[in-house]
Chain A
Amino acid sequence: MDTHLTDDVVGPLPGDYKSDVKPIWCPGCGDYSVLAGITRAMATMGLERHDTVVVSGIGCSSRIPAYTSVYGYHTVHGRSLAVASGVKLARPELNVLIFGGDGDGFSIGGNHFLHACRRNVDMTYIVMDNQVYGMTKGQASPTTEADWCESKLTPEGPGVNPIQPVALALACGANFVARGFSNNPNEVARLIVEGVRHPGFSVIHILSPCVTFRPEQRNWKSTVHPYGREPTDDPNEAMRAVLEDDGFGLGIFLAGNRRPFQPESAATRSIAQIEEGFAV
């Protein structure tokens, strides 16, 4: 699926969307495969590089913009969705994708996630979840299990229940919600393509192991499973299915029908006319 060869037209290749910068990630990091999925998705859609903007916050996965060859904005911790909303609202013709991790998206950026879901700007959020803060060397994240005791910061475990990102996205009104696993970049690419093409705010939750601080996540290969149902456009039905799932089901949970938020504006008055309103 990653090449488009016809008789006389050669479409873009995934490599066309990669920069020549070497990622800072650890060997075995799941994010390498997500990056491969992202560039495959871009090639599949044949996105114009100059009309595509990728935005990220802070963290391992948020480094991705530098590894792509489209326009990018590597911002600050937690604010990527707000920055991306500004890009898309100001320039609706651009393709906007956001990359980040579980801490960036659901802890420091939690409020923006909530409102991005309900605002429903037509953009796609790819959140790479490894249930740990990798860049600061292994602390609990909002998706870490309550009894995970490997962090020096919470030696007895965080003691609070993890967030379930897919359920949260559905509860907040996201219009397209899916889950993938980094080991399968083709499937990751397919979910991203579906998400980008679906109007409104799309959340693609991707399980992406941190083998450095959570080596046990190598076992996710045998834990994940197909979610097993066709996508629905009914958020209630999607939520019921998600709550029955064990958090490792892969697929598209919701492809909803909400209208994207995009205020129209058309110049109807000159500034001189507006100024006249102040005249005594």
Chain B
Amino acid sequence: MTVDSVTIALVGSGGAGAMTAGQMLLDAAANVGWYGLMSRSTGPQIRGGEAAALVRLSPTPVHGPGDRFDIIIAFDWQNVERFAAELPLSEKSVIITDPSQGEVPAVLAASGAKQVELPIKELAGRIPGGRVNMVGLGAVAAIVGLPRAGIDAVIQKALGKKGDAAIQASNAGIDAGSKEAAGWNLGLELAAPNKEGATRWNISGNEAAGLGALKGGVKFCAAYPITPATEILEWLAPNLAKTGGKLVQAEDELASIAMCLGASFSGVPSITATAGPGLSLMTECIGLGVASETPVVIVDVQRGGPSTGIPTKSEQSDLNIAVYGLHGDAPHLVVGPTSIGDCLFTTQWAVHLAEALQTPAIVLSDQAMGQSRAIVDKPADAPHKANRLLATDLGGEAKYKRYADTESGVSPAAIPGMPGGEHTADGLEHAENALPSSQASDHQKQLDKRLRKLTSHDYGDAWADVEGEGEIAVVTWGSATGPSREAVRRLEAAGTKARLVAIRLISPVQPAKLAAALDGVSKVLVVEQTHGAQFHKFLRGHYDLPGAVSVFSRPGPLPIRAREVHETLLSLI
């Protein structure tokens, strides 16, 4: 008997190698044709402390975490109580434990899960240079039926430079673990991979966002590190340079966004990435970008808040500051990727939109997507590029008007180096000729123009992912999309049709498009990961939602699971 999805937690304190083993498991599964998702659970400590690699594998694409863990393998039990709530178990689960590490903690044992003993430390100790995580990897591989060839390729890639001794030690460890587990017959063998089909990628959300920036045409990044956004900046640093761009480490977030505005003013598409506290520091300059009509992209990888909050765990609670955080009337773009792979599309689209509409775009990613790694089908190439409308025919009799009030609201831009286009871009309110003005008519005209260029643009089908049919609909966004999608499909598999609307274009709002997507719907469930139901209130403020509206909203750091959304949907039917 085989299963369609298996969810595994590799648990251990720092140094046990849980993350390495999890990463190798995911890579090996990818090598043999499976799909997968790996997220990390760590505390805020820099090194050491508790850590778990949370891996879900399936023959088909994985949208979110599993309902519960099928397998937990613990290299030690140190501090596991701190995140036991993140490790839901049932009596069907299996806990693999090393007797030398003591009893299974009561908080996990209480689940009724089956316990299997594996002398991990002893087996590793018998091998010169042997490590516990390789023994564990071997055991898990045997349980799920992962072919050895997939692991061999990973070992070769990871340890090739360390020499034969390291490879032999790893292989011996994997063999030892595998041999012990071979006879267990736990019924967790994963269904065979379907090797037909598209090229697959192994990518994290943060890497995908960085790649989206490159594909959109970004050539400048100013960076200030902050968890969980730093990997975007670290990925961009070498890759921007390789493609002829530049990344500069700034002194703070205020400088990061200001440098990006300067680079963009000079005509170079620019991006920065941050998390909630950094976004707060950037907001005044984002407003400057709005008023001076300077494009810029800010990727906000959301985390628990407020203030420093829970920096290593996920939440969707920066929605309000992203949409409403700027002072004055400051219309701008806010978009949210709907999956790890979609971080590429949405960031690339954001670069295109920011440049086309000459305004800042905030990309709302989050820790759950940003720092998780998935095996995904290679994303389709999107046509979206930075393509700013530049002024032509400069230097004639008519003096160039930087903020000309055009029909679309987009004014042809002159950038330094273009003779005849000299002007001063300004955050102070200004007239069409860019000179400061505090006249009511100029203020009204420029505000109208800045809003019009956003509201009159045709965003096409990318405004949302719309799937399914039926009278019940889930409306969601961001990384709540994955579990919502899985819940809708479970409902459909049991015979109840349902729709999923995952809104990618948060602002400007698209009331006509949502109304069409929800036409005929009698029940709406809004799904989000916040305490205050920010997304629900946002929808209520800007859209007419049909029928009875319910909300599934809770804060992080526990990820939303498909089971929770599914149960809520069942209660509504």
Q: Residues of A at under 8 Å CB distance from B?
A: 21, 48-55, 63, 65-66, 68-76, 78-79, 82-91, 93-94, 111-112, 114-115, 263, 265-271, 274-275, 278-280
A89 touches B288 (CB 8 A): no
A266 touches B244 (CB 8 A): yes
A271 to B428, CA, bound (A): 39
Q: Is the interface of B mostly helix, strand, loop or mixed?
A: mixed
Task: With CB as the reference atom, state the residue of chain B lying closest to A115.
Answer: B251
Ordered nearest first, which 6 A-B pairs have the shortest CB separation? A86-B262, A72-B424, A267-B244, A86-B259, A82-B258, A90-B263
Task: With CB as the reference atom, state the residue of chain A lying closest to B33.
Answer: A280
B422 touches A66 (CB 8 A): no
Task: With CB as the reference atom, state the residue of chain A lying closest to B256.
Answer: A82
From known contacts A73-B292, A86-B262, A275-B211, infer whether A50 and B203 are also in contact, taking CB-CB under 8 Å: no
A112 touches B255 (CB 8 A): yes
CB proximity of B196 to chain A, nearest CB, Å: 14
CB-CB contacts of B219-256 with A at 8 A, as 1s and 0s? Answer: 11010000000000000000111111111101110110
Q: Does B427 contact A (CB under 8 A)?
A: yes
A69 to B421, CA, bound (A): 10
Q: Is the interface of A mostly helix, strand, loop or mixed?
A: mixed
Query: Which of these, A54, A79, A269, contacts B258 with CB under 8 Å?
Result: A79
B207 touches A112 (CB 8 A): no
Q: Residues of B at under 8 Å CB distance from A?
A: 30-31, 199-203, 207, 211, 214-215, 219-220, 222, 239-248, 250-252, 254-255, 258-268, 270, 284-285, 287-288, 292, 375, 378, 415-428, 435-436
Residues of A close to B263: CB separation below 8 A: 86-87, 89-91
Task: With CB as the reference atom, state the residue of chain A lying closest to B296.
Answer: A86
B259 touches A83 (CB 8 A): yes
A91 touches B258 (CB 8 A): no
A111 touches B202 (CB 8 A): no
B220 touches A268 (CB 8 A): no
From known contacts A265-B244, A279-B378, infer whether A75 and B424 are also in contact, taking CB-CB under 8 Å: no
Query: Which of these, B219, B284, B292, B422, contacts A71 with CB under 8 Å?
Result: B422
Residues of A close to B262: CB separation below 8 A: 55, 73, 82-88, 90
Residues of B close to A90: CB separation below 8 A: 219-220, 246, 262-263, 266-268, 270
A278 to B200, CA, bound (A): 8
Query: Which of these, A51, A66, A83, contacts B426 with CB under 8 Å?
Result: A66
A268 to B245, CA, bound (A): 11
CB proximity of A71 to chain B, nearest CB, Å: 4
**Can you name 22 A-B residue pairings with CB atoms under 8 Å?**
A48-B419, A50-B416, A53-B265, A66-B435, A70-B422, A72-B422, A73-B265, A74-B424, A75-B285, A76-B285, A79-B258, A82-B255, A83-B258, A86-B266, A90-B262, A90-B266, A91-B267, A93-B417, A263-B241, A265-B241, A279-B378, A280-B375
A269 touches B242 (CB 8 A): yes
From known contacts A66-B436, A71-B422, A279-B201, infer whether A83 and B261 are also in contact, taking CB-CB under 8 Å: yes
Residues of B close to A267: CB separation below 8 A: 242-244
Residues of A close to B203: CB separation below 8 A: 278
Query: Which of these, A71, A76, A268, A270, contacts B416 with CB under 8 Å?
Result: A71
Query: Which of these, B30, B243, B246, B436, contacts A271 with CB under 8 Å?
Result: B243
Residues of A close to B415: CB separation below 8 A: 71
CB proximity of B344 to chain A, nearest CB, Å: 10
Number of residue pairs A-B, CB distance < 8 angstroms: 184
Residues of B close to A65: CB separation below 8 A: 424
Task: With CB as the reference atom, state the residue of chain A lying closest to B428.
Answer: A74
B420 touches A91 (CB 8 A): no
CB proximity of A59 to chain B, nearest CB, Å: 12
A265 touches B416 (CB 8 A): no
Query: Which of these, B214, B241, B265, B419, contacts A83 with CB under 8 Å?
Result: B265
A180 to B441, CA, bound (A): 41
Residues of A close to B255: CB separation below 8 A: 79, 82, 85, 111-112, 115
Residues of B close to A274: CB separation below 8 A: 211, 214, 239, 242-243
Residues of A close to B435: CB separation below 8 A: 21, 66
CB proximity of A240 to chain B, nearest CB, Å: 28
A265 touches B423 (CB 8 A): no
**Given A71-B415, A71-B424, A85-B262, 19 extra CB contacts under 8 A:** A50-B420, A53-B265, A54-B424, A63-B436, A71-B423, A79-B285, A82-B250, A82-B262, A85-B259, A86-B260, A88-B262, A90-B219, A265-B241, A265-B245, A267-B242, A269-B243, A271-B215, A274-B214, A278-B378
Task: With CB as the reference atom, state the residue of chain B lying closest to A52.
Answer: B416
From B219, B245, B261, B267, residue with most partner A Cβ within 10 Å: B261
B416 touches A51 (CB 8 A): yes
Query: Which of these, A50, A82, A91, contacts B419 with CB under 8 Å?
Result: A50
B426 touches A74 (CB 8 A): yes
A274 to B238, CA, bound (A): 11
A266 to B242, CA, bound (A): 7
A89 touches B30 (CB 8 A): no
From known contacts A268-B242, A274-B242, infer whether A91 and B266 are also in contact, taking CB-CB under 8 Å: yes
B248 touches A89 (CB 8 A): yes
CB proximity of B261 to chain A, nearest CB, Å: 6
Residues of B close to A76: CB separation below 8 A: 258, 284-285, 287-288, 427
CB proximity of B440 to chain A, nearest CB, Å: 19
Residues of A close to B423: CB separation below 8 A: 71-72
Residues of A close to B285: CB separation below 8 A: 75-76, 79
CB proximity of B310 to chain A, nearest CB, Å: 27
Task: With CB as the reference atom, state the residue of chain A lying closest to B247.
Answer: A263
CB proximity of A87 to chain B, nearest CB, Å: 4
A91 touches B211 (CB 8 A): no
A265 touches B246 (CB 8 A): yes
From known contacts A66-B435, A89-B246, infer whether A278 and B202 are also in contact, taking CB-CB under 8 Å: yes
CB proximity of B482 to chain A, nearest CB, Å: 19
From known contacts A87-B262, A90-B268, infer whether A50 and B242 are also in contact, taking CB-CB under 8 Å: no
Query: Which of these, B287, B288, B417, contacts A50 with CB under 8 Å?
Result: B417
B288 touches A75 (CB 8 A): yes
Residues of B close to A54: CB separation below 8 A: 424
B375 touches A278 (CB 8 A): no
A53 to B417, CA, bound (A): 9
Residues of B close to A91: CB separation below 8 A: 263, 266-268, 416-417
A278 touches B422 (CB 8 A): no
A75 to B287, CA, bound (A): 10
A69 to B252, CA, bound (A): 32
Task: With CB as the reference atom, state the residue of chain B lying closest to A95.
Answer: B416
Residues of A close to B247: CB separation below 8 A: 263
From A50, A65, A78, A280, residue with most partner B Cβ within 10 Å: A280
Query: Which of these, A53, A75, A263, contacts B248 with CB under 8 Å?
Result: A263
A55 to B201, CA, bound (A): 44
